[in-house]
Structure 1
């Protein structure tokens, strides 16, 4: 099963997403994780292993794990918090691809009372209008099933979760779509933090316009595919 061409393609895509995230400074040491569910109702998913820098991860390093956190296939171990967060989101929220990071600007916004991004500010932010869940409750490291399940439920079916005092989760139906969202989410958060640092009043657009932009982006994802293909050519 794990030699199936589709699974091989998913391995390659997940490894590329990790290397690309490292390239753009979205990683944090050997922490944080990306995962993608395997086809069917097996409950199995691919996950980056414990202890490797994202910049060094290749397809053969990706581990296959089950919902209980058991390594089904792979030569590396997995990190406990990854299992509790990712397994719960795949199982409860039914998300195919789950990207969890502590990327700087998005995480900075989780430290504020608002907890997340204003999707009526920059054009990049507007693509997420109506797609963001804010989880204001922080309970420490996700070292138990209950905390992973709480985070999964806190997403409320949305694609993006801002985890208070912690980081973000970006989900998608495909690895390339999810990575594209991850990249532009950090760009949008950076723009908001920089604008706030100016001390000048911000100028949001109305919610109807923000929703129209979100619909436009979601309605045509060719740009996401082209971006990921460009990364494949430049990062290998």
Structure 2
């Protein structure tokens, strides 16, 4: 084993990274339980604290529902698997590596979850954050990348998405899906869950063809700040998932 491989193996088994691997696996299984996954596609990644250009990623070929901590892979920003027992899907790296590097995000959750993706197919291309209370938590936090250009099979696609996300936590990718980011995995997962709930409510409301009632931008801003300022619920939700998931 080379020095670099030995260092990566030690990092992978360290207490800090082992705990992150466990939490990432929980997030993936929880997302599967809520119907947010899509086959063996889409990825969640978490940067390694105080280690430049290394992050954890779910492996190629596994359903989210079956991922356990030992299945998580340590990768570098070039897409090389540094530790772990599975391969990495190359296309995953083009989005995740760019968002970690350019948008400076610790946690990057990319899904094609149904209701949020449905809104990326509309002219608005995103959630209306002045409708439901759940939607208001994202007021002023969303970026739109309308420029769908096929599969993310080169660095330019990921870099365009990452540049669109600078200053935002959530990106709606036109005709594609969404990216949710955060500083902490439990907070980011909570946002992912409530983003889909907000999108579901909007899609259902629009399907009635009844007039929609929006609130003011000021009220949406204030409500969003209230939710952002009280994140204990996010942390308790993730702890509950860890207790209750198989």
Length-normalised TM-score, structure 2: 0.95
Secondary structure at the counterpart of residue 133 of structure 1? strand
Residue 31 of structure 2 is aligned to residue 21 of structure 1 = yes
* Structure 2 residue aligned with 1:230: 240
Alignment correspondent of 1:63: 73
The yes-or-no answer on 1:210 pairing with 2:200 is no
Task: Report how far residue 184 of structure 1 moved.
Answer: 0.2
- State which of 96, 99, 105 in structure 1 corresponds to 2:106: 96
Aligned partner of 1:33 in structure 2 is: 43
1:114 aligns with 2:124: yes
Out of 144, 150, 158, the residue aligned to residue 134 of structure 1 is 144
Deviates more, 1:76-85 or 1:114-123: 76-85
Corresponding residue for residue 145 of structure 1: 155
Point out the more displaced range, 165-174 or 73-82.
73-82
Instruction: Tell me the distance in 1 between the aligned counterparts of 2:37 and 2:124.
Output: 23
Structure 2 Cα separation of the partners of residues 201 and 28 of structure 1: 32
The residue that corresponds to 1:53 in the other structure is 63
- 1:171-210 mapped onto 2 (5 Å cutoff): 171-210=181-220
CA distance in 1, matches of 2:135, 2:86: 37
Cα distance, 1:220 vs structure 2: 1.1
Task: Give the distance between the partners of 1:18 and 1:108, measured in 2 at CA.
Answer: 21
State the distance in 2 between where 1:13 and 1:172 align: 14
Give, in whole Å, the separation in 2 of the partners of 1:100 and 1:213: 25
CA distance in 2, matches of 1:208, 1:171: 24
1:151-188 deviations in whole A, cap 9, x for unaligned?
10011320000000000000011110000000000000
User: Could you tell which deviates more after superposition, 36-45 or 13-22?
Assistant: 36-45
Name the counterpart of 2:177.
Answer: 167
Please tell me the root mean square deviation across aligned C-alpha atoms, in Å.
Answer: 0.7
| Structure 1 residue runs of 4 or more that deviate by more than 2 Å after TM superposition | none
Q: How many residues align?
A: 236
Greater C-alpha radius of gyration: 2
Cross-structure match for 1:125: 135
Q: Tell me, what secondary structure is at the counterpart of 2:197? A: helix
- CA distance in structure 2 between the aligned counterparts of 1:134 and 1:202, rounded to whole angstroms: 22
- Structure 1 range deviating more: 37-46 or 58-67: 37-46
- Cα–Cα, structure 1 residues 160 and 230, in superposed 2: closer, same or farther, change >3 Å? same
CA distance in 2 between counterparts of 1:130 and 1:232 reads 30
* Aligned-pair CA distance for 1:80: 1.5
